[in-house]
Amino acid sequence: MNIIVITSAIVLSGLAIYNTACVLVGSMGNLNDIQQAQFNSVLFNYLLIFVSGTIITASLLHYYLTRKLVNPVQKLIESTKQMEKGEYPAPVPVTARGEIGELTEHFNGLVDQLKANDADRSKMISDLSHEVRTPLTNLNGYLKALRDGVVEGDTELYQSLLNESKRITEMIEQMELLKEWGEISSHHYTEYETRNIAALIEQCAGMFQLQLGRKNISLITDAEDCTFRLNAEGVQQVMTNLIDNALNHYEDSAPIQIKGSAQGGLYHVSVSAPGPAIPDKEKERIFERLYRLDTSRSRETGGHGLGLAIVKEIIDKHNGQIRVSSEDGINTFCFTLPIR
């Protein structure tokens, strides 16, 4: 359709030029009829060549522009229509430069991110269903046995029922906490307050003294005083989860050690404790939601695979970093927070 319009415009322009030239030359009266006819014929041939060349050039230029500009946009439109139907399109080839090429790359990145988010969401729902099913099955089994008179209620049984109920409640609370921190933008999160992080660390460690005493485990803290702006509630949650994780996976008799120091504009915190070795390939995955390195051990100690995910989410929102190392039977979680 565009080619027809272009051709028509060129032909009409050529005819207009031809007729105008013929009329102007004829009105001058310097040519006889034969000369006028020859002039008209020569002019027509030149214009025919010019118009033909212009049409060919315009057609090639139109084809090139269509292929480089319009086709990528058309492919993007087709891909967005696929997404409207709930389908993930194949990556759109980047055939253009400039803004169109950049737009195509961003679109492909967006599709990949949406696919990854969808896969993570499906996995999380599946894992969460599996996690909730176990305590619910236990509760249902106990309650049916009580109803049918198979077992008689006693303090121990009721405590077991209460423990299963607490597991579900705790899991839901941690999911809510993870959701809240996940919705916070690290660039717009402003609920910071000026606090001494060493005091926060000591406060969190003190909360575990009773539990540590029952298990006969020593905890040593050595945190350098440093006052800066942070989210106190978030940092306390991080320390609580890391100490709790150290207790849940504690092995041997070495003490749990917490260290803190300010270096190069960052505050470094480490929590070290003896425990089962963490394979290198698992060191990144342990921060994923509902991921557990040892399923049986985590269930026995009450873990849900959410504590470390919450830790990473909070550290990320503080524009900090966290990593884990495992050497000689000692697992160490280290995180940094910017001093501001």
Tally helices (H) and strands (E) across the chain: 10, 7
Rg, C-alpha atoms of the chain: 37
Tell me which of 8-17, 24-33, 286-295 is least confident.
Answer: 24-33
The mean of the pLDDT values for the chain is 81
pLDDT tens string 145-175: 888 887 777 787 788 788 778 777 877 877 7
Long-range (24+ apart) CB contacts under 8 A made by 41-45 are: 43/18, 44/18
Contact criterion met (CB below 8 Å) for 237 and 253: no
pLDDT tens string 247-290: 989 988 899 999 999 999 999 999 999 999 999 888 888 888 77
Please give the angle made by the CA atoms of 98, 104 and 105, to the nearest 5 degrees.
Answer: 90
Please give the angle made by the CA atoms of 16, 19 and 20, to the nearest 5 degrees.
Answer: 80
Domain boundaries, the chain: 2-84, 98-182, 193-338
Tell me which of 47-61, 121-135, 220-234 is least confident.
Answer: 121-135
CATH of 193-338, one of 3.30.565.10, 3.40.190.290, 3.40.50.300, 1.10.3720.10: 3.30.565.10
pLDDT tens string 45-104: 767 777 777 777 777 777 777 777 777 788 888 888 888 888 888 888 887 777 888 888
Work out the average pLDDT over 102-115. Answer: 88
What is residue 28's predicted lDDT score, i.e. its pLDDT?
63
SS3 assignment, position 107? helix
CA 53 to chain centre: 54
Domain 98-182 fold: Helix Hairpins (1.10.287)
What's the whole-model pTM score? Answer: 0.61
For tokens 């209460």, the residue is 162
256's tokens: 């749990």
What is residue 6's predicted lDDT score, i.e. its pLDDT?
62
296, pLDDT greater than 50? no
Work out the average pLDDT over 125-133. Answer: 70
Work out the average pLDDT over 169-196. Answer: 73
120's tokens: 């993570």
> Which phi and psi angles does 44 have, rounded to 5°?
-65, -40
- Nearest to 285, CA basis, from 267, 263, 265, 308: 308
Contact criterion met (CB below 8 Å) for 104 and 112: no
What is residue 158's predicted lDDT score, i.e. its pLDDT?
80
Work out the average pLDDT over 210-221. Answer: 93
Phi-psi region of 96 (alpha: psi -120 to 50; beta: other; left: phi over 0): beta
What is residue 173's predicted lDDT score, i.e. its pLDDT?
79
